[in-house]
Amino acid sequence: MAKKILLILATILLVSCSNQDTPDQTWIHASDGALAAAISNDGSLALVSSSFHDIILWDLTNNTQKYRWAQGEQNLVLFTALSPNNKYAVTAEDQAFSVWDIESGKSLTYTKVRNSSIRDIAVANNGDVLIGKVNGVVVHVNIFSGRRIEFLGHSEKINSVALSANGRYALTGASDYSALFWDTKTAQVIQRFIHPTRVTKVALDPNAKYAFSAGSQKVSAIWRLSDGKEVSRLDYISRSRIFSAVSFSKNGKQLYTGSPGRLLNRWDVNTGEQLEQWKVTPRKDSRPVSSVIFAISESKSGKIITESSSGYAEFWQHGSGH
């Protein structure tokens, strides 16, 4: 009898664990895998770059291709971004970037960068583009007015950039152990967030209350923008945790993170406590079995959406993780 109870319990645990990593829905967006992806703030669009030099803008409301674009010199697109108002899309290769008009599907600019290659890119509602470079320089440029400013506040390679919806404020993380929140009109630093190791990922809360910065070792913190004070640190056991995608929930109360190890996590902003964890689906032929999460957002119905290197868009339900 005891053996039978144990067997039943083991079966229940096995079933529950298998369900925890099963998305509500999966769509194939890059059959041979993706190189980069972005999801709009409202969860209605996904911008996916594939190894076939294709850049596809997907309508996530009905899983249809809205546009298929080709970068200027047909180089591999390694970085993608969408403006919060769904007006502009940005695609970037190693040495150049393009800005696309989402309404018309037309290319607005194809611009080469000087002196150093691109490490990350972001775009605002007004056409402001933020470019982080390997040489430690961050460039802020408006594609319409041509106004351009170089931010020289970092001393080493830029690893991650974020831009406020109105283009006025930037958050940049670098290998010089710092994340800097600064004014794009004056290039003046407003807040400094210092880490014991290089900063690998940054994100801004769309409600303009919080910033997130992650180091290459065990310090990943949420900061209050008004005074620069630490709100919380993400609570995890491992000494090092690399994040490949980060976004705040629409209400600013939760944080979503994705990792190169397939992990999708939901965190409480005020406490840093992990609320849920899932594993995204690897490609069937991947050896070793792996997948990098590139982008995370929320759908209008409240589901979590991910795009990963597997080439899959996946939808996850709150309360279904562990």
Whole-number pLDDT of residue 5: 39
Whole-number pLDDT of residue 318: 87
Candidate from 3-17, 94-108, 159-173, 247-261 with smallest mean pLDDT: 3-17
Whole-number pLDDT of residue 53: 73
Please report, for residues 241, 246, 306, the alpha-carbon distance to residue 273 in angstroms, rounded to integers and kept in the order given: 15, 16, 21
In contact, 264 and 256? CB cutoff 8 Å:
yes
Whole-number pLDDT of residue 3: 44
Whole-number pLDDT of residue 216: 80
**pLDDT 10s digits, 53-93:** 789 999 999 999 999 998 876 689 999 999 999 999 999 99
Whole-number pLDDT of residue 321: 81
**pLDDT 10s digits, 217-239:** 778 999 999 999 999 999 987 76
In contact, 241 and 279? CB cutoff 8 Å:
no
For residue 203, the surrounding DSSP H or E stretch is: strand 199-204
Query: Is residue 250's pLDDT more than 60?
Result: yes
Residue 11: pLDDT band (50, 70, 90) is very low
Which DSSP string corresponds to 245-262?
EEEE-TTSSEEEEE-TBS
What amino acid is encoded at 216 in this protein? Answer: S
Sheet containing 274-279, strands listed edge to edge, beginning at the edge strand earlier in sequence: 245-248, 254-258, 263-268, 274-279
Sign of the C-alpha dihedral, residues 88, 91, 95, 96? negative
Domains and CATH numbers, the chain: 2-316 (2.130.10.10)
Which DSSP string corresponds to 35-67?
EEEEE-TTSSEEEEEETTS-EEEEETTTTEEEE
* Cα–Cα distance for residue pair 202/168, rounded to 1 Å: 17
In contact, 172 and 179? CB cutoff 8 Å:
yes
* Cα–Cα distance for residue pair 291/34, rounded to 1 Å: 10
* Cα–Cα distance for residue pair 140/126, rounded to 1 Å: 12
* Cα–Cα distance for residue pair 183/88, rounded to 1 Å: 22
* Cα–Cα distance for residue pair 293/243, rounded to 1 Å: 9
**pLDDT 10s digits, 284-318:** 876 677 899 999 999 999 999 999 999 999 999 98
* Cα–Cα distance for residue pair 49/103, rounded to 1 Å: 19
Q: To 10 degrees, the CA torsion angle through 246, 252, 253, 255?
A: 0
Question: Can you state the percent helix, strand and coil of the chain, rounding each to 5?
Answer: 5, 50, 45
**pLDDT 10s digits, 103-157:** 999 999 999 999 999 999 999 999 999 999 999 999 999 999 999 999 999 999 9
**pLDDT 10s digits, 157-210:** 999 999 999 999 999 999 999 999 999 999 999 999 999 999 999 999 999 999
